[in-house]
């Protein structure tokens, strides 16, 4: 099957999932065409079945903002015309779903009838999509999609509730490469970070307000007051500056390392003792799942789809958003009890193994076939 994948090429969850899905599909014999404005961050391998098509947006004095949507639609049309695309799979509703509908209409003028599937990832629905500037377009593009998937049951219900869409939404959770993310013996690396045997806490995100970065630091501050600890902050974004200022105010700079955006995050998770995710909203929690696959228990909020990943009292602990004191207490209960931590670590790995590529990717393949069949059946009945 020839599949066109449209995504954001950044470190955000939707881009990571789209890229890993495309790579997995290519390994299974499909020809995958990535269409975006930069090469996806995790597209770091050569494969005869993977192709990358850059969306170029020329700058003209007339445009204050380059019309990316128009350039993307044109690129999708060109890729479809000359690469025998069977189906488009667009990740993140804004603006990809509406652009896919436009490209589909244009392609019909070339007598090419290509369905598209939209995968909803989270903030395209729970945050950005609810803005009055986008809501009508998001609702329209979801309803015009030939297939829609959501990464969690929470996200499906939230989409139906706030947009009133009648479109059937298939829940297909995110997945993790359990060969890449797995427990390792990384004593040499660990000693570089925690030379005195300190506990290592980790946070990974795009450092937006919704991630509650200050809560991460406040939790760590309480943990460090009780036991020697280090905190590794992975990622970048608008809240990094305020977070660094808070570290200075709390006199924690010596114990907290800001690593910026990293590609080989599995090396970092492999030396961690706890993963912190106190987010205000998470549609799924892919970073938490990757940490769990590495054998790292998670301390998180119970927001959104996180309880579908982090099982409270089994592979981690969940708390209400903003309950910093409870999160710190839960963290200490694990870090101060080796036997308890080991039990949670093993449970984290076992739970992550329910979200492997071998289990999730075939769900997408089956859905592709279902949508192709129903779409072309409708096409035949309308002629």
* Backbone region of residue 295 per phi and psi (left: phi > 0; alpha: psi in -120 to 50; beta: other values): left
92-96, 127-131, 159-163, 323-327: least confidently modelled range: 127-131
**Site of tokens 């969850």:** 13
146 and 75, same domain (yes or no) = yes
Interval 272-286 mean pLDDT:
93
> 129 in a domain, yes or no?
yes
> 180 in a domain, yes or no?
no
Model confidence at 310: pLDDT above 70: yes
pTM of the model: 0.87
> 326 in a domain, yes or no?
yes
150 and 295, same domain (yes or no) = no
106-123 pLDDT, tens digit each? 999 999 999 999 999 877
226 and 265, same domain (yes or no) = yes
Quote the pLDDT of residue 128. 59
Q: E strands of 168-291, at which residues? A: 169-171, 199-204, 229-234, 256-260, 274-277
> 68 in a domain, yes or no?
yes
328: helix, coil or strand?
A: helix
111 and 86, same domain (yes or no) = yes
377 and 235, same domain (yes or no) = no
pLDDT band at 297 (very low <50, low <70, confident <90, very high): very high
> 114 in a domain, yes or no?
yes
> 17 in a domain, yes or no?
yes
CA distance 374 to 383: 15
CA distance 334 to 194: 18
CA distance 152 to 68: 29
pLDDT band at 379 (very low <50, low <70, confident <90, very high): confident
84 and 116, same domain (yes or no) = yes
> If you average pLDDT over every residue of the chain, what do you get?
91
Number of domains in the chain: 2
Quote the pLDDT of residue 376. 86
pLDDT band at 222 (very low <50, low <70, confident <90, very high): very high
94 and 109, same domain (yes or no) = yes
Quote the pLDDT of residue 383. 63
259 and 156, same domain (yes or no) = no
137 and 208, same domain (yes or no) = no
Q: Percent of the chain, pLDDT > 90?
A: 70
> What domain range is 61 assigned to?
2-175+357-381
77 and 65, same domain (yes or no) = yes
Quote the pLDDT of residue 162. 85
Q: Percent of the chain, pLDDT > 70?
A: 96
> 73 in a domain, yes or no?
yes
Residue 237, CA distances (Å) to 32, 41, 304 in order = 30, 16, 22
pLDDT band at 124 (very low <50, low <70, confident <90, very high): low
> 181 in a domain, yes or no?
no
Residue 367, CA distances (Å) to 19, 228, 235, 345, 361 in order = 18, 49, 33, 33, 10
349 and 361, same domain (yes or no) = no
337 and 373, same domain (yes or no) = no
CA distance 283 to 211: 12
Q: What CATH number does residue 35 fall under?
A: 3.40.50.2000
Do residues 159 and 169 touch, judged by C-beta distance below 8 A?
A: yes
């Amino acid at each position: 099957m020839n599949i066109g994948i449209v995504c954001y090429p950044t470190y955000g969850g939707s881009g990571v999932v789209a890229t890993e899905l495309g790579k997995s599909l290519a390994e299974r014999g499909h020809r995958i065409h990535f269409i975006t404005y930069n090469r996806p961050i995790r597209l770091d391998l050569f494969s005869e079945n993977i192709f990358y098509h850059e969306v170029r947006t020329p700058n003209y004095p007339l445009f204050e903002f380059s019309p990316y949507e128009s350039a993307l639609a044109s690129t999708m049309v060109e890729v479809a015309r000359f690469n025998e695309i069977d189906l488009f799979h667009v990740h993140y509703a804004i603006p990809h779903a509406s652009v896919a509908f436009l490209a589909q209409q244009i392609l019909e003028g070339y007598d090419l009838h290509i369905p598209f599937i939209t995968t909803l990832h989270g903030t395209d629905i729970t945050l950005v999509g609810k803005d009055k500037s986008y809501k009508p377009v998001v609702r329209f593009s979801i309803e015009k999609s030939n297939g829609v998937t959501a990464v969690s049951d929470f996200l499906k219900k939230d989409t139906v509730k706030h947009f009133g869409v009648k479109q059937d939404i298939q829940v297909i959770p995110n997945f993790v490469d359990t060969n890449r993310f797995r427990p390792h013996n990384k004593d040499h690396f660990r000693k570089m970070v925690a030379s005195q045997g300190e506990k290592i806490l980790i946070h990974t995100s795009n450092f937006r307000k919704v991630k509650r970065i200050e809560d991460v630091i406040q939790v760590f501050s309480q943990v460090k007051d009780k036991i020697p600890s280090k905190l590794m902050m992975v990622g970048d974004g608008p809240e990094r500056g305020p977070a660094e200022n808070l570290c200075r105010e709390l006199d924690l700079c010596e114990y907290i390392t800001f690593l910026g955006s990293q590609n080989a995050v599995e090396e970092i998770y492999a030396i961690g003792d706890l993963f912190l995710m106190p987010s205000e909203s998470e549609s799924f929690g892919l970073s938490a799942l990757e940490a769990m696959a590495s054998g790292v228990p998670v301390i998180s909020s119970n927001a959104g789809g996180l309880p579908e990943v982090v099982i409270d009292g089994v592979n981690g602990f969940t708390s209400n958003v903003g309950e910093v004191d409870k999160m710190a207490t839960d963290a200490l209960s694990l870090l101060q009890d080796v036997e308890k931590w080991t039990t949670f670590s093993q449970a984290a790995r076992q739970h992550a193994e329910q979200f492997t590529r071998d289990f999730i990717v075939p769900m997408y393949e089956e859905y592709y076939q279902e949508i192709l069949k129903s779409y072309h059946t409708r096409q035949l009945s309308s002629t």
